[in-house]
Amino acid sequence: MTPEEVETQETIPEEAEKAIKSQDKPRIGVFVCHCGVNIGGFVDVPDVAEYAKTLPFVVYAENNLFTCASDGLTAIKEAIKKHNLNRVIVASCTPRTHQPLFQATCEEAGLNKYLFNFVNIREQCSWVHMKEGELATEKAKELIRMGVARAALLQPQEEVKVDVEPTALVIGGGVSGMTAAKSLGNMGFDTHLIEKDAELGGFVRNLHTLYQTGKDANESIQGLIQEVKDNQKIHLNLSTTLKELKGYIGNYEATIADKDGKEQELKIGTIIIATGSEEYKPKGLYGYGEFPNVVTQVEFENLVKENKLPENLKSVAFIQCAGARGQDKLYCSRICCTISVKNAIKLMDIASGGEASAEPGAGAEGEAAPAAQAEAQAEEPSEGDSREGRRSRRRERRDRRRRGDRGAPEAAEGETGARAPPSRAGGLEVTIFNRGITTYGVHNELMYNDARGKRVKFNRFVPERIPEVVMEDNKLCINYFHETLQIDRKMYPDLIVLATPIVQHPEAEDLSKLLKVPLGQDKFFLEAHVKLRPIDFATDGIFLCGTAHAPADINESIAQAYASASHAAIPLARGFIIPEAITAEVDINICCGCKSCEKVCPYSAIAVTKTDKGKKAQVVLAACKGCGSCASICPENAITMRNFTDEQLISEGICALREVV
């Protein structure tokens, strides 16, 4: 294309020219990023930068290897001053991660951050056109042309300060909720902690011991409970729920009600959700609720805690992923395997009257079982024993194990069609049926090794052949397929423990509607961004921690609680917030007060109120997120979106449709 053709083609729409006449003439700088090979490996970046120089109002353009690096940011600041730029465009990756960085760079150079425009040529171009280099390059040019058309119409915006009430609300009195409240209280902020139950502790109160320490669960949290009760800054409200919430970050009005219906009005600056979770109770799965002695993990822990385990236990089976990973729930609950390993070890310790021996084949007294003794004696080389003789005996023992006898006269009572198991602690056999054991973390992996050393058996199964629990002759029976031996087997356990997943509380959906925060596909509360904002919501001023977010152990919940408290404390400590200026603006001379905008706003940021000119829509700037729902539905076109005006979007759209030959 010749320069004359470019000049003919690259004119901005007539609407844009009219709008520009009322402003200073735009002087646009364009910075095109290679992003290593992410963009530069598929797009001819130097060619794109040269093309940008030909566009209207572009007075400077260059390409950088990494524009987000320190040298790239320095180049932007120097170019703004040297070429007197009043608009900046960066064509690189996603604005979600890097736009704040480039906006801050513009501000450091004295340019209003709303005069910056981001053009995504990675996700929207190079990554989706990796095998079409020439076409990707042309598309990158088109995207930048559109960005320039919009940037020419950008106007500086002013941000306003909004005062913040220096008080926090924590919903949930479990470990994460108490930790968050204690952290905020220790920082000196008044914190209202509400708990729906009559006592603090949450889910941990149901447990017997903690696998992190091996100590009694209730005793382990008593210190934290006492700290919360003693903290003068924490206002404790038990048997209390959140009934109503109005307002926005820094200025929430919360109504809480106790079990007697007594209500209390609170003025809140920030909110932390720490409502925890509960154990899933399967319906008709593995005989739960149908056969005796089929319990969940929590029910098992209560049996141990209350010393109500069935007497004369000889065989116990744990079945993992009961209702998880595609059965009833789609997700993995992460901590179930570690809990089963902990409880299996606990059973061995109970059976042995203390610590079960880690030596293979050890009995309650630490003595070797008869079969194990026989094998040990057979392995000891006698005088004049030949190498071939030892090999022959090893082959014979291996064959016996495959046949399932190991020298035992008959199969054990607890298992048929298989070998008699070696003696366990106190004669107890513990088997964990699993789809793969997940005990993440060094400590948990060592605990798994300890369980194997104590002769806990791990039988793996696949989803296509899950264990079947039935009743045979009034005895529990598990029919299963042994993956290693490739044979069908039976087991007659005295107790079956189901490792069911952690699930969200039923009332979480009502709470999500009340707070206007989302739930994910697994019904847990959904964070703003899994990596960048893992404890934030898209709604400002509300934060998240603990198992209300996703299955987690106590250590992870505590870490999240400290993180959420730190985030929630920032606006409380500053005393004000500065929301982004990308908000809705109402022309009250046109507004008819129809309330259409009020009905569709997902953030309750706009409402029709009485003014001197009648009922008109009013925007709460601190709550508005600039989503545009109100502007799109307004029948009078009375609402304009700052930084995304009709003129800007129409200009951008026309440039997108223009064909370049």
Residue 435 near residue 426 (C-beta atoms within 8 A) = no
242 and 289: one domain? no
The DSSP output letter for 519 is: B
When the pLDDT of each residue in the chain is averaged and rounded to a whole number, the result is 87
Q: pLDDT (tens digit, 9 = 90+) per residue, 447-457?
A: 999 999 999 99
Mark which of 111, 133, 157 sits at the end of a domain.
157
Q: Which domain holds residue 137?
A: 3-157
Average pLDDT over residues 320-325: 96
Of 2 and 209, the structure prediction assigns the larger pLDDT to 209
Mean pLDDT of 335-353: 92
Q: Which element (helix H / strand E) includes 639? A: strand 639-641
Residues ≥6 apart with Cβ < 8 Å to 338: 211, 438, 439, 440, 444, 447, 448, 553
Q: 520 and 478, same structural domain?
A: no
One domain for residues 103 and 241: no
Q: What is the pLDDT of residue 425?
A: 56
Compute the average pLDDT of residues 547-566.
Answer: 97
Mean pLDDT of 632-638: 94
* Structural domain contains residue 377: no
Q: What percent of the chain lies above the pLDDT cut of 90? A: 77
Same domain for 610 and 555: no
What one-character-per-residue DSSP string does 224-271 give?
HHHHHHH-TTEEEEESEEEEEEEEETTEEEEEEEETT--EEEEEESEE
Closest CA to 371 of 424, 331, 325: 424
pLDDT class of 13 with cuts at 50, 70, 90: low
Q: What one-character DSSP code corresponds to residue 658?
A: -
Confidence band of 460 (pLDDT split at 50, 70, 90): very high
Close Cβ partners of 598 (under 8 Å, ≥ 6 residues apart): 606, 607, 608, 617
Q: Residue 626 to residues 36, 119, 164, 399, 640: CA-CA distances in angstroms?
A: 33, 19, 21, 74, 10
DSSP state of 126: I
The CA distance from 572 to 561, in Å, is 17
The answer on 550 and 480 residing in a single domain is no
What are the structure tokens assigned to 397, written together?
A: 């023992």
Among residues 424, 455, 489, which one ends one of the domains? 489
Task: Give me the CATH number covering residue 572.
Answer: 3.50.50.60
Rounded-to-integer distance, Cα 131 and Cα 118, Å: 25
Distance CA 350, CA 347 (A): 5
User: Average pLDDT in the 294-304 region?
Assistant: 95
**Do 205 and 354 sit in the same domain of this protein?**
no
The residue written with tokens 């930790």 in the block is 179
Res 657: pLDDT: 84
Residues 473 and 511 reside in one and the same domain:
no
Of the pLDDT bands very low, low, confident and very high (cuts 50, 70, 90), residue 97 is confident
Closest CA to 90 of 98, 53, 54, 104: 98
Taking the C-alpha atoms of residue 406 and residue 376, their distance in angstroms, rounded to an integer, is 12
- Where a domain ends, among 577, 599, 626? 577
Helices (H), 83-172: 95-108, 133-151
Q: Which residue has the higher pLDDT, 18 or 618?
A: 618
Mean pLDDT of 600-609: 90
Whether residues 333 and 255 fall in one domain? no
User: What's the average model confidence in pLDDT over 35-47?
Assistant: 96
Cα first-last separation, the chain = 7
DSSP state of 421: P
Q: Which residues of 589-600 are buried (b: 16+ CB within 10 A; e: fewer)?
A: eebebbebbbee
**Domain CATH code at residue 612:** 3.30.70.20
Residue 378 identity (one-letter amino acid): A
Q: Look at residue 653 and tell me if it is in a domain.
A: no
Q: Helix 442-453 and helix 336-352: axis angle, to 10°?
A: 40
Angle at 516 between CA 514 and CA 521, to 5 degrees: 105
How much is the average pLDDT of 249-274?
96
With 60 as the cut, is the pLDDT of residue 20 above it? no
Residues 482 and 336 placed together within one structural domain of the fold? yes
Average of per-residue pLDDT across 473-496 = 94
The DSSP 8-state label assigned to residue 406 in this structure reads T
Nearest of 620, 559, 612 to residue 586 by alpha carbon = 620
Whether residue 494 is contained in a domain is answered as no
Rounded to an integer, the average pLDDT of 467-475 is 94
Do 588 and 596 meet the contact criterion of CB atoms below 8 Å apart? no
Q: Are 207 and 301 within 8 A, CB to CB? A: yes
What are the angstrom distances between the C-alpha of 105 and each of 92, 265, 642? Answer: 15, 43, 21
The reply to whether 392 falls in a domain is no
629 and 551 in one domain? no
Q: Tell me whether residue 320 is in a domain.
A: no
270 and 334 belong to one structural domain: no
Q: In Å, how far from its chain's centre is CA 335?
A: 15
Question: How far from 377 is each of 189, 372, 597, CA to CA, in Å?
Answer: 71, 9, 86
Query: Phi and psi at residue 294, in whole multiples of 5°?
Result: -115, 110
**Domain-located, residue 402:** no
Q: From CA 479, how far away is CA 492, in angstroms rounded?
A: 9
Question: Could you tell me which of 648, 640, 647 has the C-alpha nearest to residue 624?
Answer: 640
Q: At 16, is the pLDDT very low, low, confident or very high (cuts 50, 70, 90)?
A: low
Q: Look at residue 404 and tell me if it is in a domain.
A: no
Q: Which alpha helices (DSSP H) does 380-439 contain, by range?
A: 387-403
**pTM for this one?**
0.80
8 and 45 co-located in one domain: yes
What is the predicted pLDDT for the residue at 538?
87
- 302 found inside a domain: yes
Bridge pairing between strands 576-577 and 278-279: unpaired
Residues 635 and 594 sit within 8 Å (Cβ to Cβ): yes
If one counts the domains in the chain, the total is 4
For the domain that residue 115 is a member of, what is the CATH number? 3.40.50
pLDDT digits (tens, 9 = 90+) for 356-413: 333 333 333 333 333 333 444 434 444 344 566 566 666 666 666 555 544 433 443 4
